[in-house]
Every structure is written in C-alpha cells, then in structure tokens.
Structure 1
Amino acid sequence: MVGVPYSKGCLLCLERRIRCDQSIPHCHQCRRYGVVCPGYKRPWQFQDEGPRLQKRYQKFSVTSNHNFQDNPQTIRRGGSIRTHLFANASIDERVYPALINQCYISQQPRMFKDFICAAFPTMFFHNEFRFGDGFTFPDWVLKHFGTKPYYDASVSCLSAQYLAHLTGDPSINHFSRQKYSQALAAVRQVLNSDEEASSDALLLAVILLSFYEMTTRTTRDAWVCHSRAVKHIMLKRGMNLHLTGAGRVCHFAYRPFLIAAAIHEGEPCFLGEDDWQDLAAFLRAEDSQKQSEWSLYIDAYEAIFMELVKCPRYIQEAREVVSIASPKARVLEQYIVMTCDRLRTLSDELRSLLASYNQRKLGIVCRGFIGPEPNRFPETSPSLLLSAAVNTLGILEQLLFRLNTPVCIDEEDSSSSNVALSPISQSTSTSNASGPCLDFRLVCELGEGIQKDDPRAFTWLDRVAGSMGLLGAKAIH
C-alpha cells in the first residue's frame, strides 16, 4: 500500500517535529537555524498491509462463522449463503466471478504434462522417439485442449488428481471427482455419435479415464469397463489409423493395459491377432532405424511383445482343455513350446544389450560385453520388459508341465471302482472325463490393485506399462 505524510511542512521541520510556516522558497525555521531548506516535495512511502489485513480477515471470518452457527436465522434474514460468500470473496472474484476458475482451467494442459512426465518416467522417456518428429502424448493434449468438453473434462480430472496428490488438499480431490463424473456423462453421449466414435480425441479421453480409475479405483473393476471401450474404439478405427499420429501414441501407451485387461477377464487379447501382429512388426522395422540411444533395443523389445501378447490366449485355451491327450491339447503344447524357445532366446539377447549399455555408461567401450551378465538392471523400459519375459516364461513352463502330467482322480472314485489304477488306466480315465481338466487362473498386479499408502503407488502404472501389463503375473491353480 502507498502512504504519504499528512503535514504540508518542509521535510526538515517534519523530521524535527516543529511548526513550519511554509514560506517559499525557504521556510523561516530553516533560515533561522542557518540550514538549507529541503523543500516541500512529499516522498512516497510503501507499507506492507498484508499482516494487518490477514489479522482483520481472520477475526471477521471467526466472528461470522460463530454468528452463523449460533443463529442460522441470520442467513435467511441477510440473504442466501451465496450472498454472504460473495461479500467475503476477493476483489478479483467479485469483479469477475469466473476468473479463478478460468485461470485454473487454463493451467490444466501444463499440469497434465507434468503429471505424464512424473507418473510415467520410463515409458515416456524411453519411447518418446517412437511417437514421431515433435509429437508426444502431452504435446497432443496441449494442442487440442479446449476443443471438446468431454476431452477437457478427462484431462482436468487427471491433472486435478495429480495436484491433489502434491498438495494433499481434499477439495482438489473432490474437484477431480466432479470432473470425472462430467467426463463420464459426456463420453457416454459421444459414444453413440457416428462422427466422434472413431476420433482421436475420444480414444485419448477414454484412455485417460481408464488411467484415472486404475489409480483411484472408484469401483473395483471400472478400469476394465474403460479398457473394453478402448478395445471397441481401436477395433472400429482399424489397424491403419494406428500407424501415425495420435493413433500410434495410443497404441504404444495403452497396449500393456489391454493385455492386463485380457488376463483379468480370462480371454485372448486382440493385439495377438495376425493384423495387429503385422502392425507391431511394421513399427519394429521402422523404429529400429531411428536415431536414438534406445533404438538398438527395438528389435528384441518388439519381438518379446509379440510373444507376450499371445499369453492370454494360451491361458484361455488351456482352461478349456477337457483332456490332456486330446489333439487340441497337443497343438496348444506345440505353440507354447515355440513361444518359450523364442522368449529364452530374446531374453538372453535383451539381457546382453542391457549389460553392454550399462558398460558403455561406465566408460568401458568394447565390441561386446565382458564378464558375467548381471541379473538385475536399473529400472528402464527394456529392463522392465525383460523381467516380464522371464516371469511369463516361468508361467508357460509350469503350464507345459501340467499339460504333460495326468490329472489324479479323487480317492472316493478309486475306492468305489475297487480296481487299482495303473498310469495307463489313469490317463484313460482323464481323457474320458467331462469338463476342463486344468483348473487355474492367471492374475496380475493391475487386477489386484495397489495400496495407496505404498511409496511406489504414484509410479505404479509406469511399471505396469513397462512390463506389458504382466507385472506380478502368476498362475493360481
């Protein structure tokens, strides 16, 4: 705040606190004492009024709240609650009530970009060169924010959730829930529109809503419903729309979660079909030629993905096997054996690449890696995929063992037959049994969820993405 002295005397008389006759050009008091009169120009003085206003506001708010609680009739006599809140609002909000809200909305794209970089450090950093020249997931959001209401609401609910995580403010968390509800209602209307049903904006919006559900879990399996919607939109768009632009980014960003959703629902993943395998092969050939320090991993990386995406189908077909001696079981066994062989070879190749890369980071430049290969590496997108490949290989080998082991029948059945069963008769009885002979299911960490107080909870989805949705995958028999 700016303040000025009240007296009109010269500055020296003001300082000495004596009466000034205000003579021009010099006052009588200065001439009397033989000093030069400094004049009558009054200086500006800047005073900090913040502490005084804060104290006054706190006193007023405490008194007002006390009065409202003691006598609710004062609200009705003085007008509505909205009138009271407006009277106590800041000058910006009284002059332009939507100013604060508009400023907050205008910051959403930048906040969203910070969220992507913080929540998906490995997936965003190690795969950024694959999206295209100057095109990244948050850049597309920055460019198209403000074009469609359902899209803006989907972005805002995630960025507000990130801000609530940073500040711990429950009101911001409540705001993110409101935006999520708005986005759900708007997306539901757009899904019935032929014009928007296959658009890039709708696909991105549903993916963002799925990310929101994976982290907040408003209901246990809501993220699966969103994943079904993503699958429906991608199939409707077709493979060609995912070769470039936003479709390419969505394919990279969400394919791990499509695998996890297929595992959770016990069905094959559509990315394992021939057309989508051709898409992965095309992207593999294209990205391996790009200039990046991470492009040397692409051949092994995409080849491992093309094998891992078959795993949900193997699990589903194995659960439908009625007899381990049936032709269907033998064909399935052959496919699993080929996938296991491929995964062993590709895992060894990727492990050598990671070891050589770490060696170069230490300044050791050689033609190949020297020394025993380590079993653990710093957490990167390739190292997370390597862990997923090793884990999946163990699951498939366990499945092979069960496909080659006759299922033992119950003791009650053996006692009622009064016949000692030999291995031949045992396998025969198994082949004639009705219903599936392998009772098991495959679960992963995404389906089970994670505790919100876990220190790794914020970057949890990044590890799920790096492991192609197979983080913590295990077969439960």
Structure 2
Amino acid sequence: MYAGSRHNDPHYLDAGRELYSSAMRGLSRTLNNVSKATSDETLATAITLAIYEMHSCTSEDGWMHHAAGIRALMQLRGPEMHLDGFGCALYIAFRNTLVTSALVNGDECFLEEPKWQALNEHIAAENAKQPDSSVYTDITERAFREIVKLPGFVKQMRNIQGASLHMQKRRRPVLLRGILATRASLRGIHTEFSMTVSTLRAGREPKTDFIGPIPYHFFDGFSTLSMQGIRSGILLLNYLIILLDPSQRPAAEAENRIVTHRMQAARGSGSRKSFDQSSPPITPPGSPGRPHLMIESRVTPETRQPPTSDWMDRLATTMGMEGVRISLIDDGPA
C-alpha cells in the first residue's frame, strides 16, 4: 500500500488489498489457537492490520472492528504483558487510537481503569529513568492519564440525560465534580507545557540534537500536536460542563473561544495539514436552547490519508483527539 501511494501505482494497491485479505484469514486462524491468541505477534498483527484499515478504509467502520478486537486482546493479556519490551511498545503504539475509538463508539475507554492507569504511571516512571528522559515526555504522559477519562465522562453524561429526574439529581453533581477536577488538571498541564516549551524556544536551555527521545528537528511538531490534544480535551470538558450545569455556560464558552483561537493559530503557523477540530457556532449568549454533544469520526473514507503522510503520528501525538470532531449543536429554544 505504501509503494502504491508513493508511486501512484494501482498494481501495488491491489496487491496490498490481497495481502490484507490473506493476513485477515491468518489472524482469524491464530485467534482460534488459545496458546497463540495472546502472544505479542498476534497483537502486533492486529495493530498492523488496523493501521492498514485506517489508511485504506475498505469499509466505513472497519478500523473500529479492529480496535474492538485489539481492546479485547489487550484486556485478555492484562497490563502485566505490557510492562516492558515489545509488549510495552505495542501498547504505546495503539493506546491513543483506543481513546479515539471509545469516543466514536460512545463507550468508556478501559484504559482509565486503575490497573491500566497504574501501567501508564509505570511507563512514565521507566521513561524518567532513561538517560534520554525529558520533562516534555513526562508532561504528555500525565496529560494522557487525564485524556483517557474523557470517553467515560461522555458516556456518563449521556446516561444521565436519559435517566429519570431523580437519578439526574443524584448523579449530576458527582459527574460534574469529576469533570471539573480533570479540567483543572489539564489546565495545569497546559500551563506547565506552555512554559517549558517557551523556555526552550527562547533559547534559555542549551540546544541539543535531541529533546529527550525526540530529535530537535521534530520537537516543534511534537509540542504543537501535544498541545492540540490537551486543548481538545479542555474543549470537550467545557462542552460537558455546559450540558450538566448551564449556569457555567458563559465562562465555559469564553474559555472555549480562547482555546479554539489558539488551536487555529497553531494550525495556521504549522506546515503540516491537520484535521479541522473547530466546532460550528453554538447558541449565542442570552438565547440558550437545548444543546447536544456531537462527536464525529475523522477516520472515514472521505478524510483518510495515505501511508506516505504523517497521519498516524498526528493521531498518536494528540492522544487520539485529532481522530474526532467535537461540536456542541443547538436544537432550538428550550
């Protein structure tokens, strides 16, 4: 598929589709073998086929089926099989996409469970021990541990909207507290990351070939995309706050205008193409209606990008947030 995209040659693309179909049949046979189903090789195969499907979109939601299978494999393997080595590398390679698929599915992301959050903390601690560790990777690890909670918040909010008034009154304050706490954490991480990046760009740190494990040449792109992911998380949390507590709407909308402006400015200053993450206008202040949250997949036949692009890097570096378009839509007067 890469060769076909690189040279614009349909023969390679056809060969890629045939190999994909053959690999799918092979994976199906392997999954029926209990001794092989949980191996690193099986998980690696599933991840590779998922990435192929995200680039090619042979069906509208084919990549989602792969993501569901990978989720099941990871849960079957358990966190202990991802503590180090190739298993850890596989986990890091796909964990951000699991956030995307959970948001699109409207389901919680299993990575927010304590045992998986403990794995994320372990990975961060191991990174800190390495000679190429840096504050930037530590900050993004902390951001991911907050971002992974967002799909669960979305699901809980929708469950509350469909519940009885009695249950809404009971559950709403608890959920709102959790969302406010996560927003506060992301705000702090955003400020910390902004300050450290500004210090580096201002030349107040010695210039080196690498910033932690990241080559200096790629650091601007890494930091910009990481910030985009954090800002997208704040944007979504503010939408949830508006839905749960309309009295906070003016303040949440004001922050979202600032966040959206910064995201647009960052995209405008970069040389890489990025998804449109901005939302359509919502109800003007003073005339609130009945808003509802819309989360659309940005991994579709219409928006897919070829394997010659840095699409997968952007999805991963934004912690999965660039794989969705988030909007708050007004349904009309309440």
Count of aligned pairs between the two proteins = 272
Structure 2 residue aligned with 1:260? 100
Give, in whole Å, the separation in 2 of the partners of 1:473 and 1:344. Answer: 21
Which structure would you say has the larger RCO, counting Cα contacts within 8 Å and 6 or more residues apart? 2
Over aligned residues, Cα RMSD in angstroms? 2.4
Contact 2:153 2:179 in 1 (8 A): yes
Deviation for aligned residue 1:452: 4.8
Structure 2 residue aligned with 1:390? 231
Deviation for aligned residue 1:195: 1.1
Contact 2:103 2:295 in 1 (8 A): yes
Structure 2 residue aligned with 1:475? 327
SS at match of 1:441: strand
In the TM superposition, what whole-angstrom CA distance separates every residue of 1:181-232 from its partner, at most 9, and x where no partner exists? 1001111111111011001100000000000000000001000000111111
Deviation for aligned residue 1:457: 7.2
Q: Quickly say closer, same or farther: Cα 1:162–1:326, change in 2 above 3 A.
A: same
- Aligned counterpart for 2:64 among listed residues 216, 224, 232: 224
Structure 2 residue aligned with 1:442? 295
Structure 1 stretch displaced more, 297-306 or 327-336: 297-306
Give, in whole Å, the separation in 2 of the partners of 1:355 and 1:227. Answer: 36
For structure 2, the residue ranges without an aligned partner over 5 or more in a row are 209-218, 248-289, 330-334
Give, in whole Å, the separation in 2 of the partners of 1:338 and 1:400. Answer: 11
TM-score by length of structure 1 reads: 0.54
- Aligned counterpart for 1:464 among listed residues 292, 311, 315: 315
Deviation for aligned residue 1:451: 5.1
Higher strand residue share:
2
In the TM superposition, what whole-angstrom CA distance separates every residue of 1:340-390 from its partner, at most 9, and x where no partner exists? 00000011111112122223389689xxxxxxxxxxx8211x431211111
Does residue 204 (structure 1) correspond to residue 57 (structure 2)? The answer is no
Q: How does 1:19-34 map to 2 (within 5 A)?
A: none
- Aligned counterpart for 1:287 among listed residues 127, 137, 158: 127
Give, in whole Å, the separation in 2 of the partners of 1:284 and 1:225. Answer: 29
Does residue 275 (structure 1) correspond to residue 275 (structure 2)? The answer is no
Give, in whole Å, the separation in 1 of the partners of 2:196 and 2:178. Answer: 27
Contact 2:57 2:304 in 1 (8 A): no
In the TM superposition, what whole-angstrom CA distance separates every residue of 1:14-61 from its partner, at most 9, and x where no partner exists? xxxxxxxxxxxxxxxxxxxxxxxxxxxxxxxxxxxxxxxxxxxxxxxx
Higher helix residue share:
2
TM-score by length of structure 2 reads: 0.76
Larger radius of gyration: 1
Deviation for aligned residue 1:461: 1.7
In the TM superposition, what whole-angstrom CA distance separates every residue of 1:87-126 from its partner, at most 9, and x where no partner exists? xxxxxxxxxxxxxxxxxxxxxxxxxxxxxxxxxxxxxxxx
Q: How does 1:76-225 map to 2 (within 5 A)?
A: 161-225=1-65
- Aligned counterpart for 1:335 among listed residues 171, 178, 181: 178
Q: Quickly say closer, same or farther: Cα 1:311–1:318, change in 2 above 3 A.
A: same
User: Aligned AA for 1:445?
Assistant: R
Percent identical among aligned pairs is 26
Give, in whole Å, the separation in 2 of the partners of 1:361 and 1:353. Answer: 10
SS at match of 1:305: helix
Contact 2:54 2:304 in 1 (8 A): no
